[in-house]
Amino acid sequence: MRFQDRSDAGRQLAAQLSLFANHPDIRVLALPRGGVPIAFEIARELRAPLDVWVVRKLGTPRIPELAVGAIGPGGIQVIDPSVAQAMHMSPELIAEIAARERLELDRREAAYRPNRPPIDVRGKTAILVDDGLATGSTMRAAVAALRRLEPARIIVAVPVAAESVCARLALEADQVVCLFAPIDLDSVGQWYDDFSQTTDAEVTNLLSRAAAFTEPHPA
């Protein structure tokens, strides 16, 4: 299975989520930047509110792809003590990494949501979207951080992810929806004909356009 681009992947993924259409408790959250064009198509199909979930993985110094934790909006911070201990990371070192990542998180929050608060997910079903998962560490961090806001359910929705990553996420999210889960996945981009980088401007534009999805239909 291949996808023309992120919009194509989003439309295909939206078809698998159609049972959630017009449900008042659905919230679609995209991991920026690549997850936003996909989440846009899902939100349009479901007529659900769309927002970004800006989370920053806290990678370990020796193995950056290994997450010792994550930070999210509003001062959310989740640390895995077992990883911190195994990698001999002091609280001071973790705080230093978190402070550095907080700068980028704050920059993105300001760029993507300049004049509005984040949508409320407490007690709602949150569909967490990205364009694909190779190691899954950022998505796992995103799920852990999102749990702090007490949604009723978290559904991870991605077009493609490594089989082992889907299995791991199934233990941490309430549901995983993945169109294709190969045993080996070297890079997400190999499954797209067009995997060009999504820009900050595109993210802002799509979020603005998505506001129309939840407007009442004309009588």
Q: What is the pLDDT at residue 219?
A: 38
Q: Are 180 and 1 in contact (CB under 8 A)?
A: yes
Tell me what the mean pLDDT of segment 87-93 comes to. 95
Asked if residue 124 has pLDDT above 80, the reply is yes
For residue 145, give the nearest of 53, 18, 25 by alpha carbon.
53
Report the SS3 class of residue 155.
strand
Q: What is the pLDDT at residue 74?
A: 79
Q: Are 212 and 48 in contact (CB under 8 A)?
A: no
Q: Are 94 and 88 in contact (CB under 8 A)?
A: no
For residue 197, give the nearest of 208, 189, 187, 207 by alpha carbon.
189
- pTM of structure: 0.88
Q: What is the pLDDT at residue 96?
A: 95
For each of the domains in the chain, give its residue range(s) and CATH number, in order of start: 6-54+121-209 (3.40.50.2020), 57-111 (3.30.1310)
188 Cα distance to chain centroid? 15
For residue 4, give the nearest of 30, 32, 41, 49 by alpha carbon.
41
Q: Are 152 and 127 in contact (CB under 8 A)?
A: no
Model pLDDT for residues 3-44, shown as the tens digit of each residue:
999 999 999 999 999 999 999 999 999 999 999 999 999 999
Tell me what the mean pLDDT of segment 195-200 comes to. 94
